[in-house]
Amino acid sequence: MSAPHETYAWLHPTPQEHIGWDVDVLYGPWPRHHRDTTLAEVRERLRASPVAGALALSTRGPLFDDAAGNAETLRDLADCPELLPVGTVDVRDALTAEERLDELTAAGVRFLRLFTIEQAADPGFPGYRRVVRLAVERGMVLLHDGDPRRFGPPLTGYGAHVVFLDLHAYLLADFLLLAREEPGFKATTRMLSGPDSIERVVDSVGPRHLVFGSRTPFMDLSPQTLKLRYADISDDDRAAIATKNVEELLA
């Protein structure tokens, strides 16, 4: 039995747990949670973690008003050097999408987050297809929610860079088949809860198809960082997933 003053090694972050970029961070109210998490609270949570930087946006954009939400994200994050702004558009009003996307690209925003679940968009809807085409034409990286089995096939053939935020371990085989054909397809580690999910991706299609995503503040960060820390992969592969793959998208 351990002495009372001893602690477990996994409680202390190591270099293998360092995350350069978390691509899945939100602040503001969210329907499935019963409180409004402020940007200050999110920043404090990140400061207490092994995560150094994040791609973030205000939930005002997807829930209420895309133009006002994008403006709020840009304004709020202007003084947050560890956070990069992510834009969004309302796929239910694709007639305004071109103006929104031009505003975002003029502001230097490289990432566009699509909320197809909250906005009830189907991959076959004309508005969804128009938003995707306009974003890809502007060289934007799509941070995409939903089932990659439904949204992946319509996104193939564009040369698009797409990060699937909701890839569950149960869906991994289908994602790997898509990724073999699409070098720009990536997924986050958040829902890859299988004991060898990260290893399967690295072995099958390579580490370039994974990035770190936590969905802070709605999910605990520690299980996410520990999962990558203890994955049976090389340190170079771990660094690609934690940092370098996102830096390549930003270059």
Contact 144, 151 (CB under 8 A): yes
What are the residue ranges of helices labelled H in the chain? 39-47, 60-63, 66-77, 97-106, 126-137, 148-155, 172-181, 197-204, 221-229, 235-239, 245-250
Nearest to 228 by CA among 216, 245, 240, 215: 240
**Start-to-end CA span in the chain (Å):** 51
The mean pLDDT value for 188-192 works out to 96
Q: Is 190 left (phi over 0), alpha (psi -120 to 50) or beta?
A: alpha
- Report yes or no: 107 and 77 within 8 Å, Cβ to Cβ: no
Q: What is the arithmetic mean of pLDDT over 199-203? A: 97
DSSP strand E in 181-223: where?
Answer: 185-188, 210-211
* pLDDT tops 60 at residue 125: yes
Sheet holding 87-88, edge to edge: 87-88, 111-114, 141-144, 162-164, 185-188, 210-211
pTM: 0.93
Give the pLDDT band of residue 34 (cuts 50, 70, 90): confident
Q: How confident is the model at residue 2 (pLDDT cuts 50, 70, 90)?
A: low
Query: Cα–Cα distances in Å, from 192 out to 41, 126, 131, 214, 217?
Result: 26, 31, 28, 11, 18
pLDDT digits (tens, 9 = 90+) for 38-63: 999 999 999 999 999 999 999 999 99
Which pair of structure tokens corresponds to residue 164? 């699937």
pLDDT of 87 reads 98
Q: What is the pLDDT of residue 4?
A: 56
Is 134 a residue whose pLDDT tops 60? yes
